[in-house]
A and B are shown apart, each in its own frame.
Chain A
Amino acid sequence: GDSVTQMEGPVTLSEEAFLTINCTYTATGYPSLFWYVQYPGEGLQLLLKATKADDKGSNKGFEATYRKETTSFHLEKGSVQVSDSAVYFCALSGRGGADGLTFGKGTHLIIQP
């Protein structure tokens, strides 16, 4: 079945550091890929998505590129802020709107001032 593997946390960085959170996936066909974020005390929010190979999703300074050859969708940000502290989830959808999402276990990101 489909699966998502993302780097274990917590990841602790200083403000303005470069961020990479690795995500790789296993799926049949051509899934859509997502990053969701969960801020403390809040629900899951869609951060960005990509629906086909080589697409780049971006939002709020975060970027991720759909790499079919390496089955990866790594999340990056050039300069993190304290307000980026949250749990980040990589996810895939195998059949567009007719499919439940398969999530990774989440990566807790802590940004220190």
Chain B
Amino acid sequence: GAGVSQSPRYKVAKRGQDVALRCDPISGHVSLFWYQQALGQGPEFLTYFQNEAQLDKSGLPSDRFFAERPEGSVSTLKIQRTQQEDSAVYLCASSPGTDTQYFGPGTRLTVL
């Protein structure tokens, strides 16, 4: 079946612009996670949803970062007033509620 998909795959933004990154999880997966992966580093947890409820947002680096999953399926990660330090690959993962997460290909964000 289809895996986790993310769009766009690449995004270039000017400093100060707002961006929205989309994640389509595997159908039926109740859990959804966002991670940020800086160049040469491991992914770092941002936030977690169970269905439409955002149960953990402790990893969001600032109040410029906002995530939603209004119908418990597709999720959007929004970054307002982007800064150069926001440049990274943003990964989405979904899970059927077990400890195994399935990752999408990521969105590479470059802020100029």
Cβ-defined contact, B42 with A100, below 8 A: no
User: Which residue of B43, B44, B103 contacts A45 across the interface (Cβ within 8 Å)?
Assistant: B103
Residues A44 and B91 in contact in the complex (CB < 8 Å), given A97-B98, A97-B99: yes
Residues A43 and B35 in contact in the complex (CB < 8 Å), given A49-B99, A97-B97, A106-B41: no
Cα A106 to Cα B35 with chains together (Å): 15
Cα A51 to Cα B45 with chains together (Å): 20
Q: How large is the interface on B (under 10, 10 to 19, 20 to 34, 35 or more residues)?
A: 20 to 34
Q: Which residues from chain B contact A32 at a C-beta distance below 8 Å?
A: 99
User: Which residue of B33, B100, B105 contacts A100 across the interface (Cβ within 8 Å)?
Assistant: B33
Cβ-defined contact, A100 with B99, below 8 A: no
Whether B25 sits at the interface, judged by CB under 8 Å, is: no
A residues contacting B by CB (< 8 A) are 4, 32, 34, 36, 42-46, 49, 51, 89, 91, 93, 96-106
B residues contacting A by CB (< 8 A) are 31, 33, 35, 40-48, 50, 55-56, 59, 91, 93, 95-106
